[in-house]
Amino acid sequence: MGLNLEVTKGEGICVADRKVEIVERKGKGHPDTLCDKAAEELSIHLSEYYLKEFGRVQHHNVDKVLLAGGLSNVHFGGGDVIEPIYILMSGRAVDVIGRDYTRQVPVGKFAVEHTREWMSKDLPHLDVNSDVIIDYKIRAGSTDLVGNFDAGVEIPRSNDTSFGVAYAPMSATEKLVLESEHLLNSPAVKKKWPQIGEDIKVMGTRVGKKIHLQVAVAVISTETRDADEYANVMQTVKDLLIDQAVKITDMPVTVAVNTADDPSKGLFYLTVTGTSAEHGDDGQVGRGNRANGLITPYRPMTLEAAAGKNPISHVGKTYNVAAREIVDRIAGEHPELKQVYCYVVSQIGAPITEPQAVNVELYGNVNLSSVKSSVESICDEVIAKLPYLWKGFIKREYQLW
């Protein structure tokens, strides 16, 4: 990789050694997360269609999705969605097959039907035929960007000037927040406690050696008889998360759930569908989790939304995944390192295998010269694989939100 790679020693205090750490995760039913998945699922569906019809993935970026929350009447034992959720999917995509322009790519059909298909699985209490309206405004890409895309057949040319960033290893707080949401949205928990909805947000705050989890859980009204059962569910959530916490960290962990509730006034976080999107909470691609599944203000982050970007040449997507593989491998091969950061920046029009710069920051009592060769080898291998990374996106192998 030559002069494009800089291996440097990180400055400052490692996250795990800081006095305070804040970590957030928005679960799969959160409006922002729903937008991320809508964008990425459309990209995957388009990519599969393009492969079948063209023999290669065509230019598209469908990474702009907006969700406007609906209205609902909800009460213990029942409720109704009275104003549906509205989802607008927009972006750019090749929409014709052949030079005669006689065959249209069914972009709108994919946007509407495929979104309904996965939403019915992810939100089983949502009636996709009446509780949500799915709209789209997707047009063909600009001539210059489509031309740039088509020019890179063997080695794709960067679709944007952007950067990817990643870090490893995760701190105990980060692991705890990530696994807490995964647990509450797991099939096993949903089967045993059907009252727990999919819209779950976990905010982890560590001060010194103590971690507090602030959790918001949308409770399914039709599965919850009364306030007593609701209270039992809240206690169950606390118990589940405390039991899991002792497997992840030896630091003391406290949990608070749905603290905006006020039973004396009849205020509970009840939903008909399992998502707050049913009543006024809105969503947008890129406002939620970063590509590693977390929101981490004490770590370097990019504001790029990876979901929905084309998997061939949009480095706002591919470089984030590549950077994550780089740091994971370096941390795995060099456990003496306390923290590893990687930044990869592109230049639009340049081959994706020739980033403008790659910076790997190493933290810990380590001699740079002793690990530099290993770091260079890992970076070279990962960057060289970038032209083939798209296959993993289509197979849903990478965490993107």
- Decide: helix, strand or coil at residue 15: helix
368 vs 370: CA distance, rounded Å: 5
**What is the reported pLDDT for 146?**
64
- pLDDT given at position 144: 58
- Residue 20 is predicted with a pLDDT of 98
pLDDT in tens, 280-299: 899 999 999 999 999 999 99
Q: What's the CA gap between 169 and 113, in Å, rounded?
A: 39
Confidence of residue 145 (pLDDT cuts 50, 70, 90): low
The residue ranking higher by pLDDT, 116 or 367, is 116
Q: Which of 93-97, 202-206, 240-244, 378-382 has the lowest mean pLDDT?
A: 93-97
pLDDT at 361 exceeding the cut of 70: yes
Segments making up each domain of the chain, as ranges = 2-18+161-170+287-394, 31-140, 172-276
- CATH 3.40.50.1970 is held by the domain 172-276: no
181-206 pLDDT, tens per residue?
999 999 999 999 999 999 999 999 99
Helix (H, G, I), strand (E, B) or coil at 395: coil
pLDDT tens, residue by residue, 308-333: 999 999 999 999 999 999 999 999 99
Q: Are 244 and 96 in contact (CB under 8 A)?
A: no
At the topology level, CATH places domain 2-18+161-170+287-394 in: GMP Synthetase; Chain A, domain 3 (3.30.300)
| Rounded-to-integer distance, Cα 237 and Cα 305, Å | 31
| pLDDT > 70 fraction of the chain, expressed in percent and rounded | 95
**Distance linking the first and last C-alpha atoms of the chain:** 29
Residue 365 CA to residue 20 CA, distance in Å, equals 22
**Which residues neighbour 98 within 8 Å (Cβ) at sequence distance 6 or greater?**
none
pLDDT score of 1: 46
On the question of pLDDT at 103 being above 80, the answer is: no
Predicted local confidence at residue 152, as pLDDT: 53
In this structure, which amino acid lies at residue 372? K
**CB contact at 8 A, 337 and 331:** yes
- Could you give the CA distance from residue 284 to residue 37 in angstroms, rounded to a whole number? 11
pLDDT at 68 over 50: yes
Task: Say if CB 197 and CB 275 are below 8 A apart.
Answer: yes
pLDDT at 148: 60
* Residue 63 confidence (pLDDT): 95
List Cβ neighbours of 352 (8 Å cut-off, separation of 6 or more).
152, 155, 156, 157, 158, 313, 315, 318, 346, 386, 387
What is the number of other CB atoms lying within 10 angstroms of the CB of residue 246? Answer: 11
Amino acid at 400: L
Same fold for the pair 2-18+161-170+287-394 and 172-276: yes
Of all helices (H) and strands (E), which one includes residue 7?
strand 5-9
Inter-residue contact 283 to 89 (CB < 8 Å): no
pLDDT confidence bin for 366, thresholds 50/70/90: confident
Cα(106)–Cα(249) distance, integer angstroms: 49
Residue 394 has pLDDT above 80, yes or no: yes
Separation of alpha carbons 187 and 199, rounded Å: 14
User: Which residues on adjacent β-strands are paired with residue 125?
Assistant: none
Q: What is the mean pLDDT of the chain?
A: 94
pLDDT tens column, 335-355:
999 999 999 999 999 999 999
* Residue 81 parent element (H or E): strand 78-83
Q: pLDDT band at residue 154, thresholds of 50, 70 and 90?
A: confident
Query: What confidence score (pLDDT) does residue 159 get?
Result: 87
Please give the Cα distance from 309 to 327 (Å, whole number): 23
Q: Is the pLDDT of residue 58 over 70?
A: yes
> 31-140, what's its fold?
GMP Synthetase; Chain A, domain 3 (3.30.300)
What does the block give as tokens for 187?
């099939």
C-beta of residue 115 within 8 angstroms of C-beta of residue 42: yes
Q: What is the pLDDT of residue 82?
A: 97
Q: Assign 382 a pLDDT band (cuts: 50, 70, 90).
A: very high
Q: Which amino acid, 111?
A: A
